[in-house]
Structure 1
Amino acid sequence: MLVVACLVATASAAAVPAGAAADTAAQSATVPASPGADADRSALGTAATPPRQTGNETDNSTGVIHENPDEVDGENELDRLLSYLSGELNGDIGASTLRLSRGEYEAARAALGDDYDDSLGKYVDVEGETETDGDGASEEYRTVVETQRAYVDTVSEFHETRREYEAARRAGDDERARELARELTRLAEDGESQSDRLLTAFDVISNRTDGDLTESSTQIEAVQANVSEQRDEIVSREFVATSLTVDDYDRNISFTDPLVLSGSLVADDGTPVTGSTARFAVGGQTIRTAVDADGSFELTYRPARIPAGSSSVTVRYLPNDTSVYQATERVVPVAVSQVNATAGLSEPAAPAYGYADGVSVRATLRVNGTPVPNYPLAASFAESSATASATNASGQSTVSTTVPATATGAASIRVAPDGDGRAVTFAPAAVSVPLETEGTALDASAREAGNGTVVVDGRLETDEGEAVSGQPVAVGVAGREVASASTNESGAYRATFDLPSDASAENATVSAAFDGGGTNLESSAATASVRLVDGPAAAGAGNDASGGLPLDLAWVVAGTAVVGLVAAVLLRRNRAGASATTTTVDDEPTASDTDDSSEPDSVTTGTPALDAAVDALDAGRPNDAVVVAYAGVRQSLGPAAGVDDAATHWEFCDRCVDAGVAPADALESLTAGYERAAYSGLSVSDEAAAELVETARSLAGTAAPDATDSPDSDGDADASEAVGAVE
């Protein structure tokens, strides 16, 4: 309830009346800018986030979209908060559908971004605390965000493909035009199913919350109607309609007694479809069969994946992408009986497998010796999921897995049907995997963080150097457990604890232990003396002494999209320090202050960030130095390579190398160093940090002088404003 109470307070503070917001904005406009504000702005860029939609802004709702819970009389706090959060979510949905209806696809995606996810997470938490009796809308809100993001992509791709189609027609490339017309048909069909799911979810949300998404529904219907209309126009222009007829057949079918269907395939004017073969989709299978000159054909279908007891199957003619013919289909009545197959698994190839080793076996599925093709399998190993492909034409599938730490004793790979009640079923099959125990190595280092607090970190690996993840490490002092931690994907762990009252950092020895009981790993342990804080300067360093990020920078590495803020944070810190030691300030503006042709703020070239990195090195903070140096390089090279803030560090590296703005070896080395400094939980040595800072300085020098110029917006309806980093 503490978390919910905090959310209630947050909601009350956030729902500021529009008039109050306007008054606040007017007052803030009269406040003089603080010194250095312009420099900070140039370092950070203009923060841009998708606007929250309100009823007054877009007329998207006849009801209340955004309501201050403090103004709702007589309602329970949780109900008021739930209403507030649903208003936030409905506003985001309305903003997204509005932008979609205008063809502003990037803005439509951004409107259902992190703010929506954050509000949805809170909504789910609060809904769990209320007695909704299943009448909440959390599932529908999840459906909306997943489906609408996909729908925006579908509509965007449809219009882009439409432009390619028109270009192919103008160029006289008929085959390419028909290929694109079929792609447009597929996209329109995807859009129809996605829009139907959205409309259903909108109705449920409107019924279960205070909001009204009628306008959003109208906008989605209009968007899809436009897509379907364009599809129909193109299909009628490009393709010849066809029809499918079938002769009498035996409706009682099974895998051992297949459906044998004969019929004819003709154009609407009665002329036979030309071609010696044709493809048909039947019950999830694709069947190719011969077609005679008069359009007659015969196909054989063995039901395997469809449910036993099915009363019909759809037979659909699938023309080639470049064909002039239009697809057609026919529903044929059947009665499907279930049959049993036999599954088998090959023996593992190696004599024994240890932790993290890969294991592959071959599965086969047959009915009385006849292979069962295209059948989905569910596979597992040691109570963990394994990967299994659908069976091929020979009824075979490759099952692959990795040995987890929990695999002990007689662990087996197991395959079973991926679903119940199919036309073909089988009893699960299993094969034992021989396992061996593997030795481990644990290391530890300990350091004082001030005020009796000790930080312990290290890494757990196998004797072969494989990182061991997800395993507990117990930390103790003088035989007493004082903390515990779990290893991450790289095997690293970190624990922080207060020294017992009867122990001192000067003579304390910290122990770390991994207990391999219940796993296929041997136990291991390590000890470390506590490295003391040395001198007054280090005493205030806290985690900085270990090379970890200081508290005011720790949030920076939570997401690569805001890594560019590191330099600005340190620059503000440095300016604050400089102002504290400066005794006089010249009030007269210098020539450089007033000259419009002066050099651009050096923050955009990364130089101040690199200077700050050197300062961090001198202060004994190697991890800070690497992170800040990387931020400087990112600010320098990003504009030249056209990389936005949302790119991860490795995406940024690849795009810069592809754009030719930086040498691959140097940028990859810096990126790997940044990843270790920011994410691994391990310290970077002073020597390695110094080398990486020099690498960063050389990379920043490769940026073109005009790299900071922003490309002009072309004003296209499909374009949207770049979303900058938000502080």
Structure 2
Amino acid sequence: MVATTHSWFVGAGTVLLVLLLGIGGSPAVASDSAGTAMQTQTVNTTLDVQAIPGSISYTNPARISGTLRTANGTPVATEQVRLEVENRTRLVRTDGNGSFAFQYRPRSARTGTTDVSVRYIPDQSATYRGDTATATVSVTQVTPTLTLDRSPSRLATGDELVVTTAVRVNGAGVSDIPIELRIGGTLFKRVVTGSNGTVRTVIRLPPVSTGEQTVSAVIPYEDRAIAGERAAESITVEPRPVMISMDATRVDGAIAVNGTVLTGDGRAVPGQSVQFSTEGQQQGSAETDENGTFETRLSTDALPEGDSSVTVTARFDESNTNFGTAEASATIDLSGGAATSPTEQPESVLQALVSEVRSFFTVPVTAAVVTGVILMLLEVIARRLGLYSDAVPESDDTETTVPTDAENVRVTDTTVATDTDETNASESDDDTPTSASRPTDRMGQAIAAGEYDLAVTMAYESVSDDLRATASLQNGKTHWELLEWCEDSALSADQVDTVRSVVAAYDRAAFSADSMDRASAEVAVERARDFQVDSLS
């Protein structure tokens, strides 16, 4: 009876303090029916791949075969597993001995004798750890045909430019080839070819100089299995007139200025500089935001004494763009009539903190605090007097069964086609996974181990898997095509923004020569963890 009373004291006091004071607790820990903490175990794996004889190329593919076992030699049998080669993932099925095979066409592999890395990426719900193996191979280069089409050929800043590029070898499209799109040598977008070797993208023309400009598509490869190529087309950039509006007010010994820069048809002009002057003297500048608005404060110290008014001028003149020039002025009364009322002085940090604490301790909250403290004191007194025992009665329900390595081998019902051709479903980069659950510890483990590219790849696969499982998308979409689909879907703006963020990080991790940094990887992982889509109806 005393022990029961003790439990009630502890539970009631803790609940009141946590719920009413808002004190955060530790993350929830999974437990069984008896309250015994359980911990998910992970099993180490060993990935082996066989040597690749002879010379290979994109037109002369190799067959990669190997085995996947647990660390103690138990085969990961009849399991659909995700393997990554050249930053491209595919799903293959192991047989009863843990063996697998698939066709490999080199794309970004370096020419000559090189090591091809094959990495096993466990499903987010699997109990396995990943592993990597390498195979030495001799790679020869193939030169593709790169084409570029753009529309329209005449446009101005802010207009939509449609660019379509295609990469082909012997007339057949080559998928997963990165292409950099440039205007006058400046990179403005990076895309990746789809399953048919083609990619189409739409951009708004950035601010560039008027006249003839060159739009180019570049395969940024050098000494790779697919040779680097370039294609170009010209466009004519026409001038775009702009309008500027401005308001100016005297505030606390300064002049507050704000306004907007818009094109003639009402589009915002973002990321451009506006210059300010008073009575012909330069007074600094401000940059327009994404809505074309600007704001700043100008000092009155340099103004002649005794002047009753001053003229403020805002001028937009970006000569390196195809925007026109624009100017707006306003006259400010310095006599005092137009001055705004003095602003209130802010409270000190300490005063603000005291006020916040006082406002928090309302009568109900204070009563809860006192009650919680009393209950905890009663618990201490009960312990001191020895009125209860800490012993926990035995129960048959507290037994926890830990699975063996063999029991951890997960068999799915997914049917996978034969793996003799790279276009088969068993080797598709985008096959739908068998599980929709998504524990997040593996992405965190990859970041902790410094494998930032792997963490981002897992984040992308997690988001991609959720979308494919929910929307029943067809296999074969690239990450950019997946994003374009999301932008046209019923997803919310926040969900599309999450997909856009993860896709951009994955593109950098998978195709950029620059290594992924920890901060960017952590952002992608957190966005993937928060992503959830229940239906797209």
Q: Which has the higher contact order (CA 8 A, sep 6+)?
A: 2
Structure-1-length-normalised TM-score? 0.38
Structure-2-length-normalised TM-score? 0.50
- The structure where strand makes up a greater share of residues is 2
